[in-house]
């Protein structure tokens, strides 16, 4: 996955410096922090902050963030502020979330290209059915990860959202299979 998706989540430009990325991340975490919301919204805000953490971690772990004119990129002696998570339920949830996001985002980008919002850069052998089939594979992988969270860690904070994602995956899978059959794919 390219870093544009993560830059979009944090609302920073392609030319953003590490400091600008850090500032955007901190501002968004403060705005979305679960402690600032009522109890019924805390779980949703937890997911929002996790998404922000993933975007920040991905951008800060790039080999070199684009520096502003004439300055060297800031170096952090300890690396990114977000480290690996020790909760196995989270590890499965995260992998499921990444696969699910890539699958759904890939189709959304293809739809934008088809609608003329963005001109696609097709290779001569490009077939839309390949994108749909790839997304089906990613959805299958995401289903496996979310299923592990639900089956192995039913008391985890990630379990409720994993169940929601499983239902969405089943709907997307049916839809993508129908699209694939309409495109004349496998």
Task: Tell me the pLDDT band of 23, cut-offs 50, 70 and 90.
Answer: very high
Q: In 70-127, which residue ranges form alpha helices assigned H by DSSP?
A: 88-115
**In contact, 17 and 67? CB cutoff 8 Å:** yes
**38: which residues sit within 8 A by CB, 6+ positions away?**
none
Q: Which residue pairs, CB below 8 angstroms and at least 24 apart, start in 80-84?
A: 80/56, 81/56, 82/53, 82/54, 82/56, 82/57
Pick 130 or 79 by higher pLDDT: 130
Architecture of domain 88-182: Up-down Bundle (1.20)
CATH 1.10.287 residue ranges of the chain are: 1-83
Q: Give 41 or 154, the one with higher predicted confidence.
A: 154
Instruction: Please state the pTM of the whole predicted model.
Output: 0.48
Residues of the chain with CATH 1.20.58: 88-182
| Fold held by 1-83 | Helix Hairpins (1.10.287)
Instruction: Kindly tell me the number of DSSP H helices and DSSP E strands found in the chain.
Output: 6, 0
Q: What confidence score (pLDDT) does residue 20 get?
A: 92
Residue 13: CB partners within 8 Å, gap ≥ 6?
A: 7, 20
- pLDDT-derived band at 127, boundaries 50, 70, 90: low
């Amino acid at each position: 996955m390219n870093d544009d998706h993560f830059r979009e989540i944090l609302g920073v430009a392609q030319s953003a410096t590490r400091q600008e990325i850090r500032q955007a991340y901190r501002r968004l975490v403060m705005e979305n922090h679960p402690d600032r919301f009522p109890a019924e919204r805390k779980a949703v805000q937890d997911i929002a902050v996790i998404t922000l953490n993933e975007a920040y971690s991905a951008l800060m772990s790039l080999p070199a963030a684009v520096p502003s004119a004439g300055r060297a990129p800031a170096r952090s002696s300890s690396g990114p502020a977000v480290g690996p998570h020790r909760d196995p339920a989270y590890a499965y949830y995260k992998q499921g979330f990444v696969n699910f996001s890539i699958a759904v985002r890939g189709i959304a980008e293809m739809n934008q290209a088809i609608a003329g919002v963005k001109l696609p850069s097709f290779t001569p052998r490009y077939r839309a059915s390949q994108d749909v089939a790839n997304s089906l594979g990613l959805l299958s992988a995401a289903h496996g990860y979310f299923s592990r969270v639900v089956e192995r860690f039913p008391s985890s904070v990630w379990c409720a959202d994993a169940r929601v994602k499983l239902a969405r995956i089943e709907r997307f899978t049916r839809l993508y299979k129908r699209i694939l059959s309409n495109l004349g794919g496998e």
